[in-house]
Amino acid sequence: MTPRRKRIAILSVVGALLIAMLIAGAIYERRPQFFPYVVMQSGETLQVRFLLHARAARGACESQVQRVAQTLLAQCPTCGIPEAHCLEKLDPVQRKVLYGHPVDVPTMRMPEGVLVFFAASPDLALQTCMESATQAKRIVPGRRDCAAAGVESLQLTVSSAQGAAPPGRVPGAWPLAAVTAFAALVSFALCFLIVRFPRWHAWFSQDQVEGGPQKFHATPTPRIGGLALAAALGAGIFLLDAMRWLQVTSVEGLTLLALAAIPPFAGGLAEDVTKRVGVLARLMLTISGGVIAALLIGVTLDHVGVPGLDTALLRWPFFAIAFTAIAVGGIANGINIIDGYNGLVAGYAILVLGAIAWVAAQVGDPVILAASLLMAGGVLGFLVWNYPSGRVFLGDGGAYLMGFWLAELSVLLVVRNPAVSPWFPMVLLAYPVIETFFSIYRKKILRGGSPSQPDGLHFHMLIYKRLARVGVGSSDAGQITYRNSLVGRYIWAWSAIVIAPTLVYWNSTGPLLVVGLLVCFSYLWLYYRLVRWRAPTWLIASVAMRRT
């Protein structure tokens, strides 16, 4: 067996095992499950919700519901039972509560399930929880623990999601504009210093014209623009703290998230300066940043809309942390892969951040809205210097920082807001994800090389070579720069077409799946046409029109 066939056989076996696991998980998920659910209301100030583990038969579940309701009414004759039934499927909030993820209300865990306490006063809810745990231990021996509300930093806010407390107030246009403008100003100013005073850093920061298949600029250019993004992000978080329209704990959560971004940013920046940090090392640093974020702020994916993953695997904390961290690392690496031409990845990131911010405003989540605008402002300040002239590059440090922030905001948007379909951010970030997997397939399977070895066959490079036919073979710096800047316009237009329907169907998985399939099809179709020099003529003609 040849080495290539051996690799294909190994990957086929691995793929078959993964498919078998997903099928088994889907079968497990679709087996009949009935969760006893009872809500007890005491006046207008206190509500206790009982959610017990699944029963295999509806009759057993209904009997359990009746027993729980009768026991509660016997202990509290003045209380009411507004809900008492069997749930056939848990929503993301109920799943988090039942499986022990951190929430912002007191819970009492017991072998049978969990009790969740809502009250007008957090102290009253905690006191009732503790008294209930003590009383339950007296009646039925065994472990009955009352867990106090977790710190409301960035994890799911059950109280607002369930309507027991008002959701976060979205600030007006002026505060949001001020946050965006401040981040843009900080980024713009630092990029100005980088461009204006090259003698301070040129000896270690410049990206030379020669040296590889992915060099498409005309003059040596500093590639430490990521410092501007990092400065804008840090200064913006301080501004949010000073403005006081976010909860203090939420600002602390964003601070912790920024700290978790240090490993991927530092790894990328080290590569920009030394050119000696390998792809695998940078990927592992980015994954470690995802693990740190999960441990510091307690945010991990618990549902992705894939049968088998949601209930069979992601319910286990260790797997959820690993899955989330790998997803974050993969997206950040994908953003770095597509960062090849002036303004390409910066413009794409602004479109994605704008979509996330828009949906965050729809669901009333000021934390995700502010975090999106902070990064968008930083990218705008950088983009002024990067497009179209390319006077400073984002570099690996900036690309990994941007990718990490995009990935974490996507996770947070889904985790904090159960109404948002997990496929919304997946479709938004489909381009770098598809580029990553297709690059691995092209380099490893088709060509038998290393996936980390750079080549000149990425999607954006084919656009440069096949569509941007301006000054081909010319050594004129102006023509090279103009041709370089054209690539971003193609990617922006394609991305805008993809993102537009997601803004309408952000809470509907079915239409988002259709959009995702169309994205994959359009990518593969156009790649096939470009690599065979059969580019659609109307796309080439559009370049000529722009030139004129």
Secondary structure letter of residue 389 according to DSSP: T
Q: How many other CB atoms sit within 10 Å of the CB of residue 396?
A: 26
Give the Cα separation of 66 and 89 in Å (integer): 19
Q: Which two tokens stand for residue 422?
A: 């997990």
What residues contact 286, with CB distance under 8 A and at least 6 apart?
263, 264, 267, 328, 329, 332, 333, 400, 403, 404
What residues contact 259, with CB distance under 8 A and at least 6 apart?
292, 296
Secondary structure letter of residue 50 according to DSSP: E
What residues contact 116, with CB distance under 8 A and at least 6 apart?
48, 49, 51, 97, 103, 105, 106, 107, 158
- At 124 the three-state DSSP class reads helix
Specify whether the CB–CB gap between 299 and 260 falls below 8 A: no
CA distances from 157 to 167, 246, 298 (A): 9, 14, 12
Write down how long the chain is.
548
Q: Which residue has the tokens 């965050």?
A: 360
Helical residues (DSSP H) of 387-462, grouped into ranges = 395-416, 423-428, 430-440, 459-462
Specify whether the CB–CB gap between 14 and 445 falls below 8 A: no
Give the Cα separation of 119 and 142 in Å (integer): 26
Phi, psi of 493 (to 5 degrees): -65, -45
548 residues of the chain, pLDDT tens digit each = 666 666 666 667 766 766 666 566 555 556 678 999 999 998 878 889 999 988 888 999 999 999 989 988 888 888 899 999 999 887 767 877 887 766 777 888 888 889 888 887 778 888 888 888 888 776 666 566 787 765 445 554 444 444 333 344 567 788 899 999 999 999 999 999 999 888 887 776 675 555 544 444 446 788 889 999 999 999 999 999 888 877 777 888 899 999 999 999 999 999 999 888 988 999 999 999 999 998 888 778 877 877 666 666 777 778 889 999 999 999 999 999 998 899 999 999 999 999 999 999 998 888 899 999 999 999 999 999 999 888 899 999 999 999 999 999 999 998 888 789 999 999 999 999 999 999 988 888 887 777 777 778 899 999 988 887 665 555 566 677 788 888 999 999 999 999 999 999 999 999 999 999 999 999 999 999 999 988 888 787 444 444 44
Give the Cα separation of 279 and 44 in Å (integer): 58
Angle, helix 344-362 to helix 366-386, in steps of 10 degrees:
160
